Amino acid sequence: MFVSCGNSTNNCAPFCHHLFIPLSLLKVTCNCFTISDGELQEIGVGLYPSLSLLNHDCRPNCVMVFEGTQLKLRAVRDINPEEELTISYIETLSLTEDRQQQLEEQYHFTCHCQRCQTQEDQEEVRHNKPKKQNPTHCFTLIRFLFLPAHSDPKWIIRAFLFVFSSLHSEMHGDTFIAQIHQWDTALLCPYPYFLFVQDRLMLIGEEASWRLLKEALPRLEGIKAESNWQKLFESCCHLLTDTGGEIPDENILKLRITDMALDASIQLGLWKEALIYGVKTLPAYRQYYPDPHPVHGLQLMRVGKLQHHLEHISHALDTFTQAFKILKLTHGEDHPLTDDLRMKMEECQSEMEHHQAAAKMHI
């Protein structure tokens, strides 16, 4: 079943006159999938009964991608024989509270996945600051050493980092949390440490400054919806300039505004500005998408195209290569988007060889 997205509102008008909506219609509404193209632009709505049986997880082991109106389920990490296949019903790049609110409003359930539960436990530890040598507090922290039960010794190091940061974060603040995350990232363990403290990382920086960004977001989203790209570009630039030094690029509010500045720059043909903003987003995307994810791969591809257009060929090839490693898993090696990316890589390689040959001739 496929319904195209159109501009007419006549199709939904009859439902406005009914007080009681049939239960079957509610089930269809909750189990529909938004059909998107290769670049995740919405083009319609579809009902796929088999895949509607999949449960939600805020850190799923599978993603769904479309090829035309055909929906494909793809694993993004190793799955054990008896492990449940899960997907995310929503965009996961948001705070736990916001994710849970969206799931409650759209799908009418409260998420208790490991990612959400870990954040709840971490908040419990923060807000119940017991005195020294409180056995309950120590137990709450130490039990993270066994969640999940990885035998990799690097996991043990990562878990101890979490306990250490939990005990000292009030003294050292978010800067200390960020430093711990840098150590943790270098370990390349199977379960990212930042999931334990990611809500705090998402709001890292001076609260007075990021609250200005939070208050500005609805207005900016309205300007974007109107396609007023010049006004959006100027507003984003102004905000990012005023708060730039006080809020790290990993702050999710700053990331969203930087993404809007990128979109506006592209629409206005300001390629150099677009590349600057695009490159700024990549460390945060890498941090918040530890598993292969289409959104991360597409962001890399977008930045790579900007680098290629501005003739930063070696950088473009490197960025395209990173994107390909992700998209070949999330989309498959035979997907049209992956084929396009492969051609971009070949173009960059050919251009680099041509430039090298020309340089040798001059010598």
Q: Looking at the domain 2-94, which fold is it?
A: Beta-clip-like (2.170.270)
Does the pLDDT at position 4 exceed 80?
Answer: no
pTM recorded for the entire structure: 0.73
Q: Looking at the domain 294-363, which fold is it?
A: 1.25.40
Give the number of C-alpha atoms closer than 13 A to the C-alpha of residue 268, restricted to the C-beta side.
20
Query: Which range has the worst mean pLDDT, 37-46, 64-73, 92-101?
Result: 37-46
Per-chain mean pLDDT for the chain: 76
Quickly state the pLDDT bin for 342 (edges 50, 70, 90). Answer: very high
- Architecture, CATH, for domain 206-288: Alpha Horseshoe (1.25)
| Number of other residues whose CB lies within 10 A of the CB of residue 48 | 19
**Residue 332, by phi and psi: left (phi above 0), alpha (psi -120 to 50) or beta?**
left
Side chain identity at residue 190, one-letter code: P
Identical fold at 206-288 and 294-363? yes
What is the per-residue pLDDT for 243? 81
Span between the terminal Cα atoms of the chain, in Å:
63
Does the pLDDT at position 215 exceed 70?
Answer: yes
Query: Which range has the worst mean pLDDT, 166-170, 288-292, 316-320, 335-339?
Result: 166-170
What is the per-residue pLDDT for 162? 52
Does the pLDDT at position 56 exceed 70?
Answer: yes
Report domain extents, the chain: 2-94, 114-202, 206-288, 294-363
What is the per-residue pLDDT for 53? 84
Q: What is the mean pLDDT of residues 23-28?
A: 39
Quickly state the pLDDT bin for 13 (edges 50, 70, 90). Answer: very low
**Residue 176, by phi and psi: left (phi above 0), alpha (psi -120 to 50) or beta?**
alpha
What is the per-residue pLDDT for 355? 83
Higher pLDDT, 362 or 293: 293
What is the per-residue pLDDT for 117? 81
Does the pLDDT at position 60 exceed 60?
Answer: yes
Does the pLDDT at position 153 exceed 50?
Answer: yes
Higher pLDDT, 8 or 261: 261
Element (H, E) at 240: helix 229-243
DSSP string covering 193-234, please? THHHHHHHHHT-S-HHHHHHHHHHHHHHHHHHHTT-HHHHHH
Query: Which range has the worst mean pLDDT, 234-248, 263-277, 349-363?
Result: 349-363
pLDDT tens digits for 81-133?
989 999 998 888 899 999 999 999 988 889 988 888 876 555 554 555 444 44
